[in-house]
Amino acid sequence: MPLMLARIKYCVNRIIKTRFIWNSFLTRLKDNSGRSNIDGDSKGNKKKILDPPTIESVAQLIKTGKAKRIIVMAGAGISTAAGIPDFRTPGTGLYDNLQKYNLPYPEAIFDMTYFKENPEPFFSLAKELFPGNFMPTLTHYFLTLLYRKNILLRCFTQNIDTLERLAGLPDEMIVEAHGSFAKSKCLKCKKFADAAWMKEVVNKGEVPICTSCRVGIVKPCITFFGEAMPSKFFLRLGDFQVCDLLIVIGTSLQVQPFASLVDSVGEKVPRLLINLEKVGDIELSDMGFDFEGRHQNYMRDAFYKGTCDEGVRKLAELCGFKDELLKVYEEGQESLIKEFGKIPTSVEIATKVEKKIKAELELTVDEIDQLAKIFEEKIKIKSEISEEVDQMLKEFDELKEKKSKDKELLKEKGNENKSNDKDDKDDKELLNVKEDITKSDKKEEEKGEKEELKDTNFVMI
């Protein structure tokens, strides 16, 4: 239910914003001034959130503790320094180098309909991306440093390479808007596949077929065109309502709905773009970035032109923790090489995570086995008690039968009157004993049932 509400709210907001853009566009055409009639003084000066709108002003907010809930929106550009190509850079981008796959159009390699009909091109590409050797960049460790300083609210990433995790950013801090190669799942039976097996099959250049249902294609858990966004994406949209600084880095902001997230923060929240060129500035609109301060109420957008690593190094230097960033980077690299014996692949990272999950599952199984032993012991004790009760009841019946025979003998001897009172008393005592035994047995059963129910509830929890 929370996920459904989040998706509905997101769709409604997008409809409202789309209409707002259109109305704004029509208004500007009528006005023919190229400027909006927004808040400011009589000379048209804007209210300034960043004064001046530069990376230095952004650094001052971080340095003085005014930015405590930072959201980072990361694109493929933060991983290019690791040797992973982005998608759209002319000449070197992924889409410019797919001719060998004979695709009807470049984006078809990530199109769900095309994939189901012809999965071979994707897995040929996956062989290059999925098992490749790559390490986190300085930018990835910058995210980790923000997290350690307790000022990172969330990292929303378009990347599927899992490098944010490898740099030490915990899962709860990451929203992988387009999924990742960390896991793979059967399209038919929905079962997850073993990471090592997936690596072996992909490296052979084969299309992985599920080993469980034996008919479904096993696809990495990355979001294709035509697929729904991960549920975590919608559940974390509320973060933007409490964000006090937005940093957008290494993305073209051309893919929706990720690109529209820049408009999800409040209108007074400062925004910094670190990129090789300006993106996301929509002409004749109050949406997107407004670096020139022409269309929005507040001057709050800053742009740093350069690579992602250059940008975060500059920002860290201005904030006074460049040396700390470099130390985190060096220690992280050394730790990874020491742990894996070499530069690890994304598959080896996924395998490590999978082993950890299996270890936790084995621990759970051990706990269940322990509870089963306790149940067996209780059943054994209950069985022994039942046997004792049965024996006592048997002895009671034998005693009663003997008493009855003795009574008949007394009648024959003419002493019936003398023994009647005593016999009645003895019979009552015997009946009381039997009743006590039965009640005791019943209480033991009820107690055992309650304990079993309690233990069962524990297992379910």
According to the annotation, is 383 in a ligand binding site? no
Structural contact between residues 126 and 202, judged by C-beta atoms closer than 8 angstroms: yes
> In 10 A of CB 130, how many CB atoms?
22
According to the annotation, is 155 in a ligand binding site? no
**Strand, helix or coil for residue 10:** helix
Number of H helices, E strands in the chain: 13, 10
Q: Which of 46, 165, 178, 313 is catalytic?
A: 178
User: Looking at this protein, which amino acid is placed at residue 280?
Assistant: G
Structural contact between residues 269 and 295, judged by C-beta atoms closer than 8 angstroms: no
According to the annotation, is 346 in a ligand binding site? no
Q: Is the dihedral of CA 40, 45, 46, 50 positive or negative?
A: negative
Backbone φ and ψ for 356, nearest 5 degrees, come out as -65, -45
Structural contact between residues 252 and 90, judged by C-beta atoms closer than 8 angstroms: no
According to the annotation, is 371 in a ligand binding site? no
Burial of 140 (0-12, 13-18, 19+ CB in 10 A): buried
Structural contact between residues 161 and 181, judged by C-beta atoms closer than 8 angstroms: yes
Token code pair at residue 125:
């590409």
Residue 295 a catalytic site member: no
The rounded distance, in Å, linking the Cα atoms of 294 and 267 is 14
- With both helix axes pointing from N to C terminus, report the angle between 308-319 and 55-63 in degrees, rounded to the nearest 10: 50
> What letter does residue 228 receive in the DSSP assignment?
P
According to the annotation, is 275 in a ligand binding site? yes
Structural contact between residues 285 and 260, judged by C-beta atoms closer than 8 angstroms: no
According to the annotation, is 160 in a ligand binding site? yes
According to the annotation, is 151 in a ligand binding site? no
The rounded distance, in Å, linking the Cα atoms of 426 and 424 is 5
According to the annotation, is 319 in a ligand binding site? no
Token code pair at residue 194:
């073993």
According to the annotation, is 374 in a ligand binding site? no
According to the annotation, is 159 in a ligand binding site? yes
The rounded distance, in Å, linking the Cα atoms of 389 and 436 is 11
According to the annotation, is 88 in a ligand binding site? yes
According to the annotation, is 388 in a ligand binding site? no
According to the annotation, is 80 in a ligand binding site? yes
According to the annotation, is 87 in a ligand binding site? yes
The rounded distance, in Å, linking the Cα atoms of 242 and 252 is 25
Token code pair at residue 292:
């020139």
Backbone φ and ψ for 248, nearest 5 degrees, come out as -110, 130
Instruction: Render 281-302 in DSSP notation, one character per residue.
Output: B-TTSSSB--TT-SSSSEE-EE
The rounded distance, in Å, linking the Cα atoms of 21 and 255 is 18
According to the annotation, is 252 in a ligand binding site? yes
Token code pair at residue 452:
């079993």
Q: Is the dihedral of CA 166, 172, 177, 180 positive or negative?
A: positive
Specify binding-site residues for NAD(+).
76-80, 86-88, 158-161, 251-252, 275-277, 308
Specify binding-site residues.
76-80, 86-88, 158-161, 186, 189, 210, 213, 251-252, 275-277, 308
Residues annotated as catalytic (active site), given as ranges = 178
Specify binding-site residues for Zn(2+).
186, 189, 210, 213
